Amino acid sequence: MVPQVDSPGRPSRTATPPATATLRVISPPRAYPPLPADPPQEAMLPVAVAPPLVPPACAPPAAAAAAAQREQSNSTFAALRVRNFRLFIAGQLVSLCGTWMQTIALGWLVLSLGASGTALGLVTAAQFLTVLLFGPYGGVIADRSDRRRLLMITQTGSGLAALTLGILDLTGSARLWMVAVTAMLIGLCNAVDNPTRQTFVQEMVGPEYLSNAITLNSVTMNAARIIGPALAGAIILGIGTAGCFLFNAASFGAVLIALRRMNTAELHARTPVHRAPGQLRAGLRYAWRTGTLRVPLVMMMVIGALSYEFQVVLPLVARETFDGDAATYSLMTAAMGSGAVVGGLAVARRRRVGVRPLGLIAAVFGGVLLLAAIAPTLPVELAALVLVGAGSVAFISTGNATVQLAADPAMRGRVMALWSVALLGSTPVGGPIAGWVAQSCGPRAGLVLAAVAAFVGAGYALLSLRSRSSTDPAAPAAPSA
């Protein structure tokens, strides 16, 4: 009998195991013993059931993350998360205390030399005349230069000028023309320092924290307005005005130390503008043709010229209206500073910038200036000046942020130079006017003039918004952040 050969696709009948054998093969203990390399069952459970670290179904949506980031950037002290900015603010606080001490001492020194209110306005104007004449060129220099190194140069120059004032006063050789010339040298340093310092803020914190950083910088300035005048009053009564000038000269060392300790790798990189002809004219044309720049700059020109002449008007209010002395003037300046700190902290949480909020703030600023003008007693005057300080810092910080955010990065130094000219360079025009009005019509008239200028600025902002909406009803009035 020939044996049957099974085909490859069909199993052999003789190879089929019986049912009992099948049961024996699948029995786990005898047929399939565990391999020695296999981990125990308990050790594999975590690997089999552990979920991903962030399951897709549980991950926060992009909108929630963006909202959390906005909330973080909207906090009152958001910009202080940046180490370089913390160093900058610390140095500024010390230096600005010295600056306010010098401001108090300079006004009182001029009056002690027998000058009138008009002469005080002229000396104050001399300090800012160089800002008016050379401020736009300072912006060009800021756009072309390494701003951190440039700040070291300008801060050193300002310290040397303050030291000169202190030596002249200490030796008794100070004359009115000497004070005026030294004030002009200080203004020359400020013509370059102001646009450089303001644009350097964005290099430290970036555009996200810019509005908050500008407001905190203003708060720091006004905190120094509280500390500086208080120290100035005590030093003037104790050792004379020379001590204030010498302290201010030493205070610039704090800024230089802060700038040296900064981590340059954490700065937001920018490409300096290469030297080329016509850069100043290009900056002027750009600012005038851009509505969101032109309107705040014109407002600052009017309000800065006549509303911010407190260093001219307040000494006369202290001495003639309330029959006070240097301590009274220091107290009034400190009241403005305290209001500015509180108002600045309130503004720091808000990110609304643009022409419309700037116009509203200018109107409120004019209203509180009127309150200060009609205050019948010194305590009421001090309370009104607290409100004036709050309105002052709100207007400056909102306008500064509006201009910086609207400006092209390549033009920002020149645009901020124009802002400095509008704020400080207008003093050579407004200072003598405010001094003459306060001397001729009474110190309260100087405050009324300041209020009128603020109302004019607010009206100009309102007219610009109406003109823009009538030209293009669909166009937004101003960018907001």
What's the mean pLDDT when you consider all of the chain?
78
Distances in Å between the alpha carbon of 357 and those of 77, 310, 367, 401? 22, 24, 16, 12
Give pLDDT, residue 367. Answer: 95
Give pLDDT, residue 14. Answer: 43
Both tokens of residue 143?
């756009």
Cβ neighbours, 10 Å, residue 236: 25
Q: Whose structure tokens read 């001490």?
A: 101
Report domain extents, the chain: 78-260+279-471
Q: What is the mean pLDDT of residues 81-98?
A: 91
Q: Whose structure tokens read 């207008």?
A: 426
Q: What 3-state DSSP class applies to 78?
A: helix
Q: What is the mean pLDDT of residues 199-223?
A: 81
Q: What is the mean pLDDT of residues 415-429?
A: 77
Q: Does pLDDT of 24 surpass 80?
A: no
pLDDT one-digit tens code per residue, 151-199: 999 999 999 999 999 999 888 888 888 888 888 888 889 888 988 888 8
Please answer whether residues 326 and 225 qualify as being in contact, where contact means their C-beta atoms are separated by less than 8 angstroms.
no
Largest CA distance in the chain: 146
CA 152, 155, 161, 166 dihedral sign is negative
Q: What is the mean pLDDT of residues 20-28?
A: 45
DSSP letter (8 states) at residue 278: T
Q: Give residue 267's identity as a one-letter amino acid code.
A: L
Q: Whose structure tokens read 């979920």?
A: 51
Give pLDDT, residue 272. Answer: 67
Give pTM, 2 decimals. Answer: 0.64
Residue 456's closest CA among 464, 468, 446? 464
Give pLDDT, residue 5. Answer: 41
Greater model confidence, 327 or 55: 327
Give pLDDT, residue 22. Answer: 44
**How does residue 252 score in pLDDT terms, banded at 50, 70 and 90?**
very high
State the Cα–Cα distance between residues 240 and 366, nearest whole angstrom: 35
Q: What is the mean pLDDT of residues 230-245?
A: 86
DSSP letter (8 states) at residue 75: S
Both tokens of residue 416?
């901020």
Q: Which long-range contacts (CB under 8 A, 24 or more apart) does 373-382 make?
A: 373/444, 373/445, 373/447, 373/448, 373/451, 374/444, 378/322, 378/324, 378/328, 381/317, 381/322, 381/332, 382/331, 382/332, 382/335
Give pLDDT, residue 450. Answer: 93
Rg of the chain in Å (alpha carbons): 34
State the Cα–Cα distance between residues 101 and 247, nearest whole angstrom: 8
Q: Does pLDDT of 17 surpass 90?
A: no
Greater model confidence, 347 or 286: 286
**How does residue 382 score in pLDDT terms, banded at 50, 70 and 90?**
very high
Residue 126's closest CA among 183, 80, 177, 82? 183
Residue range 78-260+279-471 forms a domain whose CATH class is mainly alpha
